[in-house]
């Protein structure tokens, strides 16, 4: 019992008796203001604690033998679907015709409304383009001669059909997914799939091929929170000119790790753009090229939760600081009001 008086002397929060406390209107206003500020800061700190943040790490890419998914969604407002083809070329030099590919073409009217659908089944991965491949020319010579008359009729029908579509202002939307080898290469959308004589009849020269396009979406894998694909909603419209667009893309392998430990393998990329106008002496036909290369570095993005002790520390600092500031403000206001009241009382007594 003898220790109790000495223990009381350590109390940092002494309490005055009720009749010695004086409550004022200014103190009530400061208290309400302080409570509003503390509640607002508490909600802000709680939201900050509940939101996750990401940590970026880099390492050498060790993946081998996997494929690279390419998601395409593009519109060509000045070219009908009948003349457009998609070609994929990689550095391996393999000639494959059985790619796991899903590409569709949607016919568009001059206002961009869909008027028809077509599945693109003639996508070929090749080294130099099917229409320039003469390795089997002699073997197929007899068959080509046999069907020459039919081919000419089909070609004439196609020329008339495409010219009618051009007059009607038809466009084309190309969308779907390419599954290519995980090596450097390119894919391009062009009129290269046409026979050269048919192309000449339709367009009367390469300078009349308008490859204006809008890239609605281009990605190299599934999307994760916060990803930004630099070519999304990119519009390149040509007027009274033609040429070849080239997009040089550096693909960065990426892994996104959620809080649930689920891992999402994907890719992000950077891009540089180049446009080459067609000259009268050029023999090449306009196209839109996407030339991609893979980075040897993998980026790992990991979601993290903020530390609970850090949250408590910040909360105590915010609430304690607000309480201290409102206490100081209350004392200043009380002294100011008291000094003004006393000066008025003295002037009245005089």
- pLDDT tens for 258-296 read 988 899 999 999 999 999 998 877 778 899 999 999 999
pLDDT at 346: 61
pLDDT higher than 60, residue 148 = no
**Number of DSSP helices (H) and strands (E) in the chain, helices first:** 6, 14
pLDDT higher than 60, residue 161 = yes
Give Dmax over CA atoms of the chain in angstroms: 129
Q: What is the mean pLDDT of the chain?
A: 80
- Domain extents for the chain? 58-118+145-304
H/E stretch holding 347:
helix 308-349
CB atoms within 10 A of CB 11: 8
- Which of 20-29, 112-121, 122-131, 151-160 bottoms out in mean pLDDT, i.e. has the lowest? 122-131
What is the distance, to the nearest Å, from the Cα of residue 6 to the centroid of all Cα atoms in its chain?
Answer: 68
Under the banding of pLDDT at 50, 70 and 90, the label for residue 226 is confident
C-alpha 61/C-alpha 296 separation (Å) is 5
More confident: 153 or 169? 169
Under the banding of pLDDT at 50, 70 and 90, the label for residue 140 is very low
C-alpha 164/C-alpha 300 separation (Å) is 52
List, in sequence order, every beta strand (DSSP E) within 182-231.
185-190, 213-219
Contact criterion met (CB below 8 Å) for 271 and 186 = no
263: helix, strand or coil = strand
pLDDT higher than 60, residue 64 = yes
Residue 93 pairs with which residues in a beta bridge?
none
pLDDT at 297: 92
Q: Specify the residue for token string 């002397």.
A: 9
Note the pLDDT tens digit of each residue in 302-331. 999 888 998 899 889 988 888 888 888 877
C-alpha 247/C-alpha 274 separation (Å) is 6
Q: Specify the residue for token string 């010695």.
A: 20
What is the chain's length?
350
Most confident of 129-143, 158-172, 267-281: 267-281
Q: What fold, for 58-118+145-304?
A: Acid-sensing ion channels like fold (2.60.470)
pTM of the model: 0.71
Contact criterion met (CB below 8 Å) for 3 and 284 = no
């Amino acid at each position: 019992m003898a220790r109790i008086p000495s223990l009381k002397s350590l109390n940092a929060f002494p309490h005055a008796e009720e009749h010695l406390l004086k409550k004022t209107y200014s103190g009530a206003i400061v208290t309400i203001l302080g409570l509003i500020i503390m509640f607002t800061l508490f909600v802000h700190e709680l939201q900050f604690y509940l939101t996750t943040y990401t940590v970026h790490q880099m390492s050498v890419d060790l993946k081998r033998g996997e494929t690279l998914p390419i998601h395409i969604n593009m519109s060509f407002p000045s070219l009908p679907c009948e003349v457009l083809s998609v070609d994929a070329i990689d550095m391996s030099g393999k000639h494959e015709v059985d790619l796991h590919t899903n590409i569709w073409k949607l016919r568009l009217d001059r206002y961009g409304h869909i008027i028809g659908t077509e599945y693109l089944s003639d996508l070929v991965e090749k080294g130099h383009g099917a229409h320039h491949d003469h390795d089997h020319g002699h073997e197929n010579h007899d068959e080509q001669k046999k069907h020459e008359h039919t081919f000419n009729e089909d070609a004439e029908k196609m020329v008339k059909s495409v010219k009618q579509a051009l007059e009607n202002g038809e466009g084309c939307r190309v969308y779907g997914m390419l599954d290519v080898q995980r090596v450097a290469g390119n894919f391009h959308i062009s009129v290269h799939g046409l026979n050269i004589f048919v192309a000449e009849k339709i367009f009367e020269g390469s300078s009349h091929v308008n490859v204006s396009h809008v890239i609605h979406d281009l990605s190299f894998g599934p999307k994760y929170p916060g990803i930004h694909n630099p070519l999304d909603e990119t519009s390149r419209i040509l007027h009274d000119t033609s040429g070849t667009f080239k997009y040089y893309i550096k693909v960065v392998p990426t892994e996104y790790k959620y809080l649930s430990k689920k891992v999402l393998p994907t890719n992000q990329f950077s891009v540089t753009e180049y446009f080459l106008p067609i000259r009268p002496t050029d023999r090449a036909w306009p196209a839109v090229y996407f030339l991609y290369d893979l980075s040897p570095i993998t980026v790992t993005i990991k979601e993290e939760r903020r530390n609970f002790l850090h949250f408590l520390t910040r909360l105590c600092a915010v609430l304690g600081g607000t309480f201290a500031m409102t206490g100081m403000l209350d004392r200043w206001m009380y002294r100011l009001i008291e000094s003004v009241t006393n000066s008025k009382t003295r002037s009245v007594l005089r």
